[in-house]
Amino acid sequence: MFRVNGFFAAYVAKILLYTPISANQLSFFMGVLAVIAGVLFAFGEFWYSILALFLIFFQENLDYIDGLIARYRGTSSMRGIFVDLLIHSITASLTFFGLAIGVFRNTGEIMFFIFGGLAAIFTVLASYIHPLKNQALIIKLKEYASGKRLEELDGKDFEVKSEVGKEESKFSLKSLVREGMVYLTFRYTTFVLIFSIIFDFTQWVLVFYGIFLPLKWFVLMMYEFKADYKSLEYLFKPYKK
């Protein structure tokens, strides 16, 4: 993403500190920008799409600035993190959905709308896989904190297994898949959209993401299902009798 540099971001944040605008208000404004960008994409017009991309880049810079404001004012909170995560998830989804409508208006091909819809749905589902697993951990922590099911902790030594000697080859299938997942994040998608809108191949971008985002969701789901909590069980140690 074309993020502003640290000096400029700090300068803008300093100006905003003299206003009553809070970090959370800035985050909600980012959500409004995401909705506007999605609507602009839905028109299927070249300059509207360029403006929508500009709004998305501007939104990403606001994301950096609102974090600075929260830290300067000492208002960083779990609520702020939740709002940020929520805004990020709806931005990607609204972008794909708006593009799907815009491409359908221009081509009349329902296939492109379907692939765009799949991309919009699975970009959200994929982003929730890891948080859902963390939620399972939090549920256990809440149970142990309230004194429930503490017998489950009997016999656990809470030793974190050493990863020495288990270095993964950078050319292994698992490492290649992991690297590929990174390039399916929305940060890189926006770069692709710049060229697809300028050179008019957005419909094929929707086909690509409509295929690979569901695959990303499936791979992440299987990975998290097979992965255990051994590396995090030390969090349970204070509740062991």
- Provide the CA 185 distance to its chain's centre, in angstroms: 7
Left, alpha or beta for 164 (phi > 0: left; psi -120 to 50: alpha)? beta
What pTM was computed for the model?
0.83
Indicate if the pLDDT at residue 170 is higher than 60: no
- φ and ψ at residue 223, rounded to 5 degrees: -65, -50
Q: Quick one: DSSP state of residue 19?
A: S
Indicate if the pLDDT at residue 233 is higher than 90: no
pLDDT of residue 81: 78
CA dihedral sign of residues 193, 199, 203, 209: negative
CA dihedral sign of residues 62, 67, 71, 73: positive
Indicate if the pLDDT at residue 88 is higher than 60: yes
What pLDDT band is residue 172 in, cutting at 50, 70 and 90? low
pLDDT of residue 40: 97
Indicate if the pLDDT at residue 1 is higher than 50: no
Indicate if the pLDDT at residue 210 is higher than 90: yes
What pLDDT band is residue 96 in, cutting at 50, 70 and 90? very high
Indicate if the pLDDT at residue 237 is higher than 80: no
Contact 113, 105 (CB under 8 A): no
Which carries the bigger pLDDT value, residue 66 or residue 211?
Answer: 211
What integer best gives the mean pLDDT of the chain? Answer: 83
Give 6-239's CATH code, choosing from 1.20.120.1760, 3.40.640.10, 1.10.3720.10, 3.40.1160.10. 1.20.120.1760
Give me the mean pLDDT over the 81-86 stretch.
Answer: 82
Q: Name the percent of the chain lying above pLDDT 70.
A: 85
What residues have CB less than 8 Å from 58, skipping those under 6 apart? Answer: 33
